[in-house]
Chain A
Amino acid sequence: MVWRSYEFGSPWREIERLQREMNRLFADVASDFTPRIAPGYPAMNIWTNDEGGVITAELPGLSPEDIDISVVGETLTLSGERKADKVGDDVRYHRQERGYGKFSRTIQLPFQVDADKVEAVFDKGVLHIALPRAEADKPRKIAVKTA
């Protein structure tokens, strides 16, 4: 028998189609898990609207003096140090799960920030940073005129 691919359609074409389909499927799923920011410490949640954004981060055991925030344009750097507890020499650890040390994390926001109006509140071990969007960067409505 002579294989005439043009008549049947190549079986490869079907496999390719399936492959594309699978890729698309996995890309959909993966997009939920792949962060746009390299994960690090601390974990952050970012909330946004047209007026700006709010970043929250859980930093238990730190005090406001231990946290350093700097904003330039659309990048925000959060750094600080979580200090180890001072304990005597004669303690016996059963468990040690809490980490400590220095951290620094820089993230890029989807908008320019008005650096003068950034406010940060630290309460119950949770940091809230309010980042108002720069006036010049806000979306503008464009009226459509009839000719």
Chain B
Amino acid sequence: MAKNALQEVKKKEVEVMEGAERSRSVKAYVPRVDIYETDDAVHVIADMPGVDEKSVDITLEKNVLSIYGEVNPDKPENYSLAYAEYEMGDYERKFTLSDEIDREKIEASVKDGVLRLVLPKAGPAKTRRIPVKGA
């Protein structure tokens, strides 16, 4: 199978920073992401099952992009958990972006538990290729 083939999903828990614990007693996991760049935007796609447009929080402070998704663990009523392979919890992840993002035009959408972010590059600072000349 290829590198990106489906693999057993073992969610990675967010590491607790020194001296800072989470206030909510729910665990937080690191969502799997794809990040790709085109000539005019950076796209971030994150798998966050259980999250919808109301429970996701995206902030961009300076050049740190934070994604936070709150999940209400849905436990079927009157059932007991007989076998578990995954745990439910919030999602949290941060990325440092380059400065060239046009903050006003960031777009985000959530569908079927997948968050899609489009971060357009600011006009004048679009990638400039520097040609390397042979001597």
Known: A41-B7, A49-B79. A88 touches B38 (CB 8 A): yes
Q: At the interface with chain A, which of B16-24, B48-56, B101-109?
A: B48-56
Assess the B49–A90 pair: CB atoms within 8 A: no
A62, CB-defined interface residue at 8 Å: yes
B8, CB-defined interface residue at 8 Å: yes
Assess the B45–A98 pair: CB atoms within 8 A: yes
B130, CB-defined interface residue at 8 Å: no
From A49, A53, A56, A95, give the contact of B33 (CB < 8 A). Answer: A95
Closest A residue, CB atoms, query B83: A46
Interface size on B, residues (CB 8 A): 42
Assess the A126–B84 pair: CB atoms within 8 A: no
Q: Quote the shortest CB–CB distance from A65 to chain B (angstroms).
A: 11
Closest A residue, CB atoms, query B75: A47
Assess the A59–B49 pair: CB atoms within 8 A: yes
Assess the A94–B36 pair: CB atoms within 8 A: yes
From B8, B39, B82, give the contact of A90 (CB < 8 A). Answer: B39
Contacting residues, chain A, for B112 (C-beta < 8 A): 60-63, 122, 124-125
Q: Per-position contact with A for B73-105: 1 when CB-CB < 8 Å, else 0?
A: 011101111111110000000000000000000
Contacting residues, chain B, for A106 (C-beta < 8 A): none
| Sample of 4 more A-B contacts, CB < 8 Å, known A37-B83, A45-B85 | A43-B85, A45-B83, A60-B112, A125-B47
Q: A82 to B5: give the CA distance in the assembly, Å.
A: 10
Q: A67 to B122: give the CA distance in the assembly, Å.
A: 40
Q: A93 to B1: give the CA distance in the assembly, Å.
A: 20
Q: Quote the shortest CB–CB distance from A143 to chain B (angstroms).
A: 25
Assess the B114–A48 pair: CB atoms within 8 A: no
Assess the A39–B85 pair: CB atoms within 8 A: yes
Assess the A101–B6 pair: CB atoms within 8 A: yes
B132, CB-defined interface residue at 8 Å: no
